[in-house]
Amino acid sequence: MIIETDTSTTYTDPGVDGMVSDWSADRQAFDLPWGKLMMWIFLLSDTFIFSVFLTGYMNVRMSQTAVWPNPSEVFALEVFGTHMPLILIAIMTFVLITSSGTMAMAVNYAYNGDRRKTAILMGATALLGASFVGMQAFEWTKLIEEGVRPWGNPMGAAQFGSAFFMITGFHGLHVTAGVIYLSIVARKVARGDYEEKGYAIVEITGLYWHFVDLVWVFIFAFFYLW
């Protein structure tokens, strides 16, 4: 018996009908290169990790009876004699957004076949990421010098330190990994390694990088601004 595959609706039907036909047809369910699907699955698992960190932070912050240190003051800096609350964190946020922008451009140029511009923009993204990690190292140093430890700090609730080092540390680790990942892929793009395979790899790397930026949006809102 010959089973005829219905190709009339190949990844074109919109909405729920389209999802049903994607899943029920005799072909792969997801209209993506496998590497991109696997990156999405990884990012989903990573979402759970960061969600659990932030939920844990919410729980300890809600349940402690001591005063929670005011992040606006803890992360304030004196800039040219002016007291600026949260200024370093704001700069870090802008650096990360800028890097997301250069990454989006890199993906665009990659699919247009402009290897040179793709590699340059990915390099710029990696540099911005590295400067983010540098500023984070500065911030950690400052807080450690002020006596903030995972088990206590002079400003108030002891849980502040553990939540801070755990959440920003894990995020910084992701940025560091992203910088290495970007550098490797940028070099391979520049060498022309993907001329035959195609440039989906740049979009996949971009997904990871935008995710790092996305996580920072939540950390910025819940940890620094709350």
- What is the distance between the alpha carbons of residues 34 and 84, in angstroms, rounded to a whole number? 47
- What is the distance between the alpha carbons of residues 181 and 208, in angstroms, rounded to a whole number? 9
Quick one: DSSP state of residue 80?
T
Beta bridge partners of 78: 83
- What is the distance between the alpha carbons of residues 166 and 179, in angstroms, rounded to a whole number? 20
SS3 assignment, position 209: helix
Pick between residue 1 and residue 8 the one whose CB is nearest to another protein: 8
Pick between residue 31 and residue 193 the one whose CB is nearest to another protein: 31
Pick between residue 59 and residue 144 the one whose CB is nearest to another protein: 59
Binding footprint of another protein on the chain (CB under 8 A): 11, 14-16, 18-19, 22-23, 29-33, 37, 40-41, 44, 47-48, 51-52, 55-56, 58-65, 72, 85-86, 90, 93-94, 97, 100-101, 103-105, 107-108, 111-112, 197-200, 203, 206-207, 210-211, 213-214, 217-218, 220-221, 224-226
Tell me the closest approach of the beta carbon of residue 38 to another protein, in angstroms.
Answer: 12
Pick between residue 187 and residue 197 the one whose CB is nearest to another protein: 197
- Biggest CA-to-CA distance, the chain: 83
Could you tell me the two tokens for 45? 């698992």
SS3 assignment, position 9: coil
Tell me the closest approach of the beta carbon of residue 11 to another protein, in angstroms.
Answer: 6
Share of the chain residues as helix, strand and coil, in percent rounded to the nearest 5: 70, 5, 25
Q: Number of helices (H) and strands (E), helices first, in the chain?
A: 7, 2
Tell me the closest approach of the beta carbon of residue 1 to another protein, in angstroms.
Answer: 28
Tell me the closest approach of the beta carbon of residue 109 to another protein, in angstroms.
Answer: 9
Tell me the closest approach of the beta carbon of residue 8 to another protein, in angstroms.
Answer: 16
Pick between residue 81 and residue 145 the one whose CB is nearest to another protein: 81
